Amino acid sequence: MDIEAGLNKLNSLLPLKARQNLLSPELKALHQKILRNFADKGQALDSVEPQQLEALNKDDLVVLDEKTKILTGAYPFSMEKKIHHVELKNAELYAMCAFDAISIAPVFSVSTKITSHCHVTKEPVEIEQDANNVISVRPSNDIYIGIKWQSTGSHAAESLCMEMVFLKDKTTAELWKGDNDNIDIYPLDAALEFAVKYFRPLLD
């Protein structure tokens, strides 16, 4: 699947920008502030009114702890322990999925080091980025992102995000995809372009 087709499909399943556009100016500004706080400080914004968080959570724009209702994430960021660990300049957090992880550096113009693993082989994957530049990739430059398309349910973090994964190389990616028309694979450069087109509009 090409980038535009993938973008259209993801926006049909998890239309973050369309949902954000329907918010009041106050809630939209809050959502953007939450995102920038994750990028700048590596932590959740505090002192947010519970009813505002609930409104954003209802649209799956943020993720709250089920019991405490404390803010724990906002796509692409998560404070909950995930497979995809992301080091920022002065902080550490996680990404909801592999696709989200690679988006953080270029979308928010920050430096990141992603530590994860191949979904199939479990081999460690490390990607260092500085804004739009990919500094290094391990185990090779042939890293792929795979997406197994599915309904997001009430929260994509618990469904679709679980199947947006790193694959160590093209051979492994093609093996994972097989003849499943519901799976798409993207080389890293294409996945980055895709991720930026999906997430950057949230900051407009």
Residue 46 confidence (pLDDT): 87
DSSP assignment string, 15-78:
-HHHHHHTS-HHHHHHHHHHHHHHHHHSS---S--HHHHHHHHHTTSSEE-TTT--EEEETTEE
Residue 148 confidence (pLDDT): 95
Residue 114 confidence (pLDDT): 98
Check whether 4 has a pLDDT greater than 70: yes
Domain-wise residue ranges, the chain: 3-203
Percent of the chain with pLDDT over 90: 87
Residue 1 confidence (pLDDT): 65
Structure confidence by residue, pLDDT tens digits, 6-54: 999 999 999 999 999 999 999 999 999 999 999 999 999 988 899 999 9
Check whether 154 has a pLDDT greater than 80: no
Q: Please give the class, per CATH, of domain 3-203.
A: alpha beta
167 forms bridges with which residues in the sheet? Answer: 144
Q: Which of 159, 134, 135 is nearest to 149 (CA)?
A: 159
Residue 63 to residue 93: CA distance in whole angstroms = 14
Structure confidence by residue, pLDDT tens digits, 114-141: 999 999 999 999 999 999 999 999 999 9
Residue 151 confidence (pLDDT): 85
Check whether 143 has a pLDDT greater than 70: yes
Residue 47 confidence (pLDDT): 84
Identify the band that residue 69 occupies on the pLDDT scale cut at 50, 70 and 90: confident
**Inter-CA distances, 105 with 97, 111, 131, 176, Å:** 14, 6, 5, 27
Residue 191 confidence (pLDDT): 97
Check whether 164 has a pLDDT greater than 90: yes
When mean pLDDT is compared over 35-49, 145-159, 187-201, the highest value belongs to: 187-201
Residue whose token pair is 């404390």: 70
